[in-house]
Chain A
């Protein structure tokens, strides 16, 4: 009951209504997602887990407007974003969503600073050089890499690269962080460090939606969802999230 009251008090950041994603070939229709009903609340730490091929990444892609649903509706901050044009989707991705991928996805030719500054360069507010520098520096310091700004990604370890990716995801102050297997390419020590940063960010109020198949990290979320064959099986409430 307390949980329900708590949720009702918080605003809904993301909402999916009867959302499906179907991949079609000449002979076959495959449901990657089927009638998904989902709400993500402000400040929540949500994990979505399930076996390989269950639709986790597809769900995250649609949540991040990187792919479009076949049917159903999707709202971000109450705005229907199911059928946006390319430029509108890009604006929302830039302003409201921060991505963290398993394979870091940093641009090799750019320095750490430039990688982190990239979302600001596409931002509608067009911040000036000084503002960009300040924000980038602050974000990199937050992930403990303030001293690596001029390095190239290839000069960093995997854990450091993922922390750069986190800084990049945070720099435009998004409404939500979408995190896809953040520790998949890391050793356990680096993985733990990254997860601690995410927990700290959540504790500071950042909404996080994370896809993972690692139960240990899934347990760190305040709410866990299980996905199987494209369907949400139900919620596992976590009384006290584990700390990394």
Chain B
């Protein structure tokens, strides 16, 4: 064993190019494999860091309309409280209301994420405390105990990690709370709504921001409130959902019986596993990544196989000697295995190290788009993947090397050395290698090109938005203004007017930026035909379309008078117009939130605007706009080459009213880039995969063809002697590889056919013709790659005297 080990080390040392090419190729590919599989382990297999997480569910209050279609998913306040009190199914339940609030007593008045929760929230998620305690029965529903638990980061950042924090007062959004606990540093709150969402402060549910007017309403289109529960071990999700749907529907029907609008509607209580809620679309992306990386691994393995085959062929004399002195096939296998395991072991180690770096960077950079990003790091699963990859690949390659040896010929190899029959690879094996390369390459290239195309179109479209001069401003209101909406509106109107007079400013709209909108759907009915539509709704002022340069296709925009009088008019985009009328001519149609509320409440469509592409969203959505001033948001259009500083704006605002200040000032360009972050990551990933695929395939095909041409040197020499021209020989080699290439292309068509449904989901916006062009481009590229791979080694031989091929053989 020691002898074999020393021998293997010596072989590796003596053949540096061979060793480096194997280790370098596999290091990169194994780094990608370990990273993606670790990602998959954390996302798909590793339990959430909460006790009995498999039984945790989030309940969704699905409102199904009279046609049986899902209208919206949103709890109404009384139904939520009723379910909380009377569920009779769950082992544990907790409510949460998410908000963003100002810390009144902290310098800079930072706005932080707050979560209003019932006490069981702390038990469900086993929140450990660094200091003090969590919520208990003293904070139960309707107890109104003004206490707060702060996160470890908030304690560090905003309270200077004071050890005596417990018992201190904390002003949040104008209310005072007593701090009773600091969460442990390692606690990760579940991101139920948005990936990367964190909670800075937990407050008792009783203080949630649902207005007193909204609390008795049994219908709702949007809610910040959520219901999380733990299922008992003896009942599954479907059973629980069925039982509770019946209950919540009965309760709801009793309360909306007088509302004709909801006739025929019903409620379904959907219970989604918490893991799915947190991961959202990520598993689908992970499966794609696994497929892509496995493709790369296969290409790399084909390349490495080729390197090992050539290496085995080159050492046939040594093998013949070993066989002559009694080495069995198994002993030869062991020799190969030991050498290969040393090489792949090094590659695995380097791959693991690279993967650790990539995962650390991902954990840091991708918090906003990757669920559970904070958990990303090399772990036991990564090490296991590295070790298993090493063992499986080593065994596979050693087996391949042993398989290509003609053991019987080998024993007689010493006397017949030079005839080239002791170590040979059949034509079928070579064609399979070419076919595999081509199939995987075509598939990977096409899918990545498709994803890149879709993504790039989205990015390009976002860059066509005329937002270069636009800045979004969010205003912070003091408590006395928050409590008095009318006064706040007056102050903000005055602020808007005075900002408009600044020399830097071209115009201003009291509306929120379209990029970061968190819009909800409005359930509207076209009153003449009683047709229901579900556009996203937004309140804007008379300047909004002008500031955003959003073209009015038909009709007109809002006027100052419309805004002032709260006129019953509505502007829609062309997407919604087409939903209302197939020719898009919806001007003058009337929409109503509630058909039973009477004609006087109908909204007349006065304008149709061109739909705007929203960065980060694949499709243009139907939208409806009402005449309302945005509560505390402005969009400012600056004059050319002008800038507006937060300080300038704050000085102006303070002069108007001491209770207003700038909370956030951000250019729309910057918002666009943030919104496009996921697209940028996807583009970068697809480009990396395309480049890796091309590089690995090029190396692979060239080395396969080089060896193939090398094996046929004599034949090429003979043909040259009898007058074959370089082109004849190229066509000969290319034609003979053609079978492999053709099989590869057909295989890739088969694979793509199997993935048809999934591809359609990715590329539903890409016209069939474009898809066809992309596929043909891929094919032409791969075939050209194959042709170059044939030409390069042939050209090397053609540069030598024609006689050399024959001489070496004879």
Q: A-side interface residues toward B, CB under 8 Å?
A: 57, 61, 64-68, 86-87, 89-91, 93-95, 99, 101-103, 105-107, 118-119, 122-123, 168, 172
From known contacts A105-B810, A107-B715, infer whether A94 and B802 are also in contact, taking CB-CB under 8 Å: no
The answer to whether the Cβ of B108 comes within 8 Å of any Cβ in the partner chain is no
Q: Can you add 10 more A-B contacts, CB < 8 Å, to A61-B801, A67-B803, A107-B719? A: A65-B802, A66-B721, A66-B802, A68-B801, A90-B725, A93-B722, A101-B810, A107-B715, A118-B722, A168-B722
Would you mind naming 28 contact pairs between A and B with Cβ atoms under 8 Å apart? A57-B803, A64-B721, A66-B801, A66-B802, A66-B806, A67-B801, A67-B802, A68-B801, A86-B725, A86-B726, A87-B725, A87-B726, A91-B723, A93-B721, A93-B722, A94-B724, A101-B810, A102-B810, A103-B806, A103-B810, A105-B717, A105-B809, A105-B810, A106-B718, A107-B715, A107-B719, A118-B722, A168-B722
> For B798, what are the chain A residues with a Cβ–Cβ distance below 8 Å?
86
> For A89, what are the chain B residues with a Cβ–Cβ distance below 8 Å?
802
Nearest CB of A to B714, in Å:
7
B799 (CB) vs chain A CBs: closest residue? A86
> For B461, what are the chain A residues with a Cβ–Cβ distance below 8 Å?
none
Q: Tell me, in angstroms, the Cα distance from A101 to B720 when the chains sit together.
A: 14
Q: Tell me, in angstroms, the Cα distance from A61 to B717 when the chains sit together.
A: 12
Nearest CB of B to A127, in Å:
13
Q: Tell me, in angstroms, the Cα distance from A226 to B802 when the chains sit together.
A: 25
In the complex, are the beta carbons of B722 and A119 less than 8 A apart?
yes
In the complex, are the beta carbons of A105 and B714 less than 8 A apart?
yes
Nearest CB of A to B419, in Å:
12
From known contacts A101-B806, A107-B715, infer whether A172 and B801 are also in contact, taking CB-CB under 8 Å: no
A168 (CB) vs chain B CBs: closest residue? B722
Nearest CB of B to A140, in Å:
16
A60 (CB) vs chain B CBs: closest residue? B803
Enumerate B1-43 residues with CB–CB distance to A below 8 Å: none
Q: Tell me, in angstroms, the Cα distance from A215 to B62 when the chains sit together.
A: 104
The answer to whether the Cβ of B82 comes within 8 Å of any Cβ in the partner chain is no
Nearest CB of B to A204, in Å:
21
> For A102, what are the chain B residues with a Cβ–Cβ distance below 8 Å?
810
Nearest CB of B to A176, in Å:
14
Q: Tell me, in angstroms, the Cα distance from A86 to B727 when the chains sit together.
A: 10
In the complex, are the beta carbons of B803 and A122 less than 8 A apart?
no
> For A123, what are the chain B residues with a Cβ–Cβ distance below 8 Å?
723
B809 (CB) vs chain A CBs: closest residue? A103
> For B722, what are the chain A residues with a Cβ–Cβ distance below 8 Å?
93-94, 99, 118-119, 122, 168, 172
> For B810, what are the chain A residues with a Cβ–Cβ distance below 8 Å?
101-103, 105
Enumerate B688-725 residues with CB–CB distance to A below 8 Å: 714-715, 717-725
Enumerate B781-810 residues with CB–CB distance to A below 8 Å: 798, 801-803, 806-807, 809-810
Nearest CB of B to A11, in Å:
23
Q: Tell me, in angstroms, the Cα distance from A103 to B727 when the chains sit together.
A: 26
A115 (CB) vs chain B CBs: closest residue? B718
Q: Tell me, in angstroms, the Cα distance from A99 to B803 when the chains sit together.
A: 11
Q: Which of B720, B801, B806 contacts A90 (CB 8 A)?
A: B720
The answer to whether the Cβ of B158 comes within 8 Å of any Cβ in the partner chain is no
> For A122, what are the chain B residues with a Cβ–Cβ distance below 8 Å?
719, 722-725, 728
B798 (CB) vs chain A CBs: closest residue? A86
In the complex, are the beta carbons of B718 and A107 less than 8 A apart?
yes
Enumerate B380-435 residues with CB–CB distance to A below 8 Å: none
In the complex, are the beta carbons of B801 and A94 less than 8 A apart?
no
Q: Tell me, in angstroms, the Cα distance from A99 to B720 when the chains sit together.
A: 11
Q: Tell me, in angstroms, the Cα distance from A99 to B721 when the chains sit together.
A: 7
Tally B residues with Cβ within 8 Å of A.
22
Q: Tell me, in angstroms, the Cα distance from A57 to B803 when the chains sit together.
A: 10
> For B714, what are the chain A residues with a Cβ–Cβ distance below 8 Å?
105
Nearest CB of A to B311, in Å:
26
In the complex, are the beta carbons of A119 and B723 less than 8 A apart?
yes
Q: Tell me, in angstroms, the Cα distance from A118 to B723 when the chains sit together.
A: 9
Q: Which of B723, B724, B726, B806 contacts A105 (CB 8 A)?
A: B806
> For B723, what are the chain A residues with a Cβ–Cβ distance below 8 Å?
90-91, 93-95, 119, 122-123, 172
Among B714, B723, B724, the most chain A Cβ lie within 10 Å of the Cβ of B723
Q: Tell me, in angstroms, the Cα distance from A122 to B807 when the chains sit together.
A: 22
B712 (CB) vs chain A CBs: closest residue? A107
> For A87, what are the chain B residues with a Cβ–Cβ distance below 8 Å?
725-727
Q: Tell me, in angstroms, the Cα distance from A106 to B728 when the chains sit together.
A: 18
Q: Tell me, in angstroms, the Cα distance from A149 to B714 when the chains sit together.
A: 22
> For B718, what are the chain A residues with a Cβ–Cβ distance below 8 Å?
105-107
A185 (CB) vs chain B CBs: closest residue? B810
Nearest CB of B to A18, in Å:
20
Q: Tell me, in angstroms, the Cα distance from A87 to B724 when the chains sit together.
A: 8
> For B721, what are the chain A residues with a Cβ–Cβ distance below 8 Å?
64, 66, 93, 99, 105
Q: Tell me, in angstroms, the Cα distance from A90 to B730 when the chains sit together.
A: 14
> For A61, what are the chain B residues with a Cβ–Cβ distance below 8 Å?
801, 803
Nearest CB of A to B735, in Å:
13
Q: Tell me, in angstroms, the Cα distance from A93 to B801 when the chains sit together.
A: 14
Among B726, B803, B809, the most chain A Cβ lie within 10 Å of the Cβ of B803
B802 (CB) vs chain A CBs: closest residue? A66
B807 (CB) vs chain A CBs: closest residue? A57
Among B714, B718, B807, the most chain A Cβ lie within 10 Å of the Cβ of B718
> For B724, what are the chain A residues with a Cβ–Cβ distance below 8 Å?
90, 94, 122
The 10 closest A-B pairs by CB, nearest first: A94-B723, A66-B803, A103-B810, A67-B801, A66-B802, A61-B803, A122-B723, A119-B722, A90-B725, A93-B723
> For A168, what are the chain B residues with a Cβ–Cβ distance below 8 Å?
722
In the complex, are the beta carbons of A66 and B809 less than 8 A apart?
no
Indicate with 1 or 0, residue by residue over B717-756, a CB within 8 angstroms of chain A CB atoms: 1111111111110000000000000000000000000000
> For A65, what are the chain B residues with a Cβ–Cβ distance below 8 Å?
802
B717 (CB) vs chain A CBs: closest residue? A105
Q: Tell me, in angstroms, the Cα distance from A65 to B719 when the chains sit together.
A: 13
Among B720, B721, B810, the most chain A Cβ lie within 10 Å of the Cβ of B721
Q: Tell me, in angstroms, the Cα distance from A122 to B714 when the chains sit together.
A: 18
A91 (CB) vs chain B CBs: closest residue? B723
Q: Tell me, in angstroms, the Cα distance from A65 to B722 when the chains sit together.
A: 11
Nearest CB of B to A178, in Å:
9
Q: Tell me, in angstroms, the Cα distance from A119 to B728 when the chains sit together.
A: 12
B723 (CB) vs chain A CBs: closest residue? A94
